[in-house]
Amino acid sequence: MIRFGKNVSDDESIIKSQIREKQASYQNQIGTINYQKENRVSQLESRYQSDLMRLDADYQDNLRRIENEHRSYVNQEIDRIILDLEGRVSRLENSILDLRSPGAYATLERISDYNRTDNEYRENLVAFRNDIEYLRAARYDDLGKLRYKLSDVARKQIDNLRDFDTQKTRLIKDLEDNERRLDSNLGSDISKVTSNANLEITRIEKEGREEIYRFIIQFYLNQEGYPLNSKSVDKIKKFQLELKMRKQEIENIEKSEFKPFYDQNIRKYQEEFRQRITREGYPLGEITCQQLKQRGRLLGLSYEDVDAAEKLIIKPFYDENMRKYQEEFRQIITREGYPLGETTCQQQKQRGRLLGLNSKDVDAAEKLIIKPFYDENMRKYREEFIDLMNEKVSTLTQQSLAELRKKQNKLGLKFEDVLNNEQLVIKRFYQINLDKYKKEFQQKIKQEGYPLSETTHYQQKQRGRLLGLNSKDVDAAEKLIIKPFYDENMRKYREEFIDLMNEKVSTLTQESLTELRKKQNKLGLKSEDVQNTEQSVFKQFYQTNLDKYQKEFQQKIKQEGYPLNNETIIRLKQRQELLGIKILGFNREDIEIVQRIIKNHKDKNKVVDYLSGVIFRENYQGLRDLLASNKWKEANEKTKNIFFNLIKNNLQSQEERHTTKITEEQTKMIDILQIQIIDILWDVYSKGRFSFHKQKDIFIAADKNFKTFSERIGWKNRAFFLVDFLSWKSDDDITFNIEAPEGHLPFWRPYISNPEEFFIKLINV
Measuring CA to CA, how many Å separate 445 from each of 277, 457, 483? 85, 10, 11
> What's the sign of the alpha-carbon dihedral 60, 65, 69, 72?
positive
Residue 594 within any structural domain of the chain: no
Residues 345 and 367 in one domain: no
Contact 559, 546 (CB under 8 A): no
Residue 700: alpha-carbon gap to chain centroid: 49
* 440, β-bridge pairs: none
Q: CB neighbours (10 Å) of residue 43?
A: 12
Measuring CA to CA, how many Å separate 90 from each of 154, 392, 658? 16, 155, 93
Residue 32 within any structural domain of the chain: no
What pLDDT is attached to residue 4?
40
Q: Which of 357, 378, 396 is the last residue of a domain?
A: 357
Q: DSSP assignment, residue 687?
A: T
Contact 752, 765 (CB under 8 A): no
Residues 174 and 288 in one domain: no
Measuring CA to CA, how many Å separate 342 from each of 338, 364, 488? 11, 19, 70
Whole-number Å distance between alpha carbons of 644 and 628: 22
Residue 412 — φ and ψ, nearest 5°?
Answer: 70, 35
Residue 641: closest CA among 618, 664, 673: 618
Contact 681, 691 (CB under 8 A): no
> What's the sign of the alpha-carbon dihedral 605, 609, 615, 621?
positive
Contact 609, 536 (CB under 8 A): no
Which residues 6+ apart lie within 8 Å of 274 measured at CB?
A: 313
* Burial of 662 from C-beta contacts in 10 A (0-12 / 13-18 / 19+): buried
Dihedral class, residue 723 (left if φ above 0, else alpha if ψ from -120 to 50, else beta): beta
Whole-number Å distance between alpha carbons of 535 and 114: 125
What pLDDT is attached to residue 8?
40
Whole-number Å distance between alpha carbons of 527 and 541: 21
Residue 331: alpha-carbon gap to chain centroid: 68
Whole-number Å distance between alpha carbons of 564 and 559: 10
For the chain, residues with pLDDT lower than 70 are 1-12, 101-114, 138-145, 162, 392-397, 501-510, 512-513, 537-566, 568-616, 649-659, 719-726, 760-765
Whole-number Å distance between alpha carbons of 517 and 506: 19
Angle at 216 between CA 214 and CA 219, to 5 degrees: 110
> What's the sign of the alpha-carbon dihedral 128, 130, 133, 137?
negative
Residue 504 within any structural domain of the chain: no
Q: DSSP assignment, residue 662?
A: B
Contact 714, 729 (CB under 8 A): yes
Whole-number Å distance between alpha carbons of 370 and 417: 15
Residues 93 and 72 in one domain: yes
Which residue range forms the structural domain that includes residue 371? 358-440
Residues 726 and 624 in one domain: yes
Residues 653 and 748 in one domain: yes
Reduced to 3 DSSP states, what percent helix, strand and coil does the chain have, rounded to the nearest 5?
Answer: 80, 0, 20
What pLDDT is attached to residue 721?
44
Residue 374 within any structural domain of the chain: yes
Contact 243, 205 (CB under 8 A): no
Residues 266 and 160 in one domain: no
Q: DSSP assignment, residue 629?
A: T
User: Helices 614-628 and 632-648 meet at what angle, rounded to 10?
Assistant: 160
Residue 752 — φ and ψ, nearest 5°?
Answer: -110, 115
Measuring CA to CA, how many Å separate 248 from each of 227, 253, 254, 618? 20, 9, 10, 81
Residues 388 and 352 in one domain: no
Residues 278 and 385 in one domain: no
| pTM, to two decimals | 0.42
Measuring CA to CA, how many Å separate 540 from each of 31, 180, 502, 543? 111, 98, 11, 8
Measuring CA to CA, how many Å separate 396 from each of 385, 433, 466, 470, 506? 11, 14, 10, 15, 64
Expressed in angstroms, the distance from the first to the final Cα of the chain is 101
Which residues 6+ apart lie within 8 Å of 453 measured at CB?
A: none
Residue 380 within any structural domain of the chain: yes
Residues 161 and 61 in one domain: yes
* Burial of 242 from C-beta contacts in 10 A (0-12 / 13-18 / 19+): middle
Q: Which of 154, 187, 220 is the last residue of a domain?
A: 187
Q: Which of 401, 422, 440 is the last residue of a domain?
A: 440
Contact 364, 372 (CB under 8 A): no
One-letter identity of residue 532: N
Residues 701 and 749 in one domain: yes
For the CA atoms of 684, 687, 693, 694, the dihedral, rounded to the nearest 10 degrees, stands at -170
Residues 695 and 744 in one domain: yes
Residue 596 within any structural domain of the chain: no
Residue 305 within any structural domain of the chain: yes
User: Helices 604-612 and 614-628 meet at what angle, rounded to 10?
Assistant: 80
Residue 709 within any structural domain of the chain: yes
Structural domain count, the chain: 4
Residues 735 and 624 in one domain: yes
Q: DSSP assignment, residue 752?
A: B
Residue 70: closest CA among 137, 167, 160: 167
Whole-number Å distance between alpha carbons of 618 and 600: 21
Helices (H), 393-470: 398-405, 407-410, 415-448, 454-466
Whole-number Å distance between alpha carbons of 339 and 722: 112
What pLDDT is attached to residue 47?
94
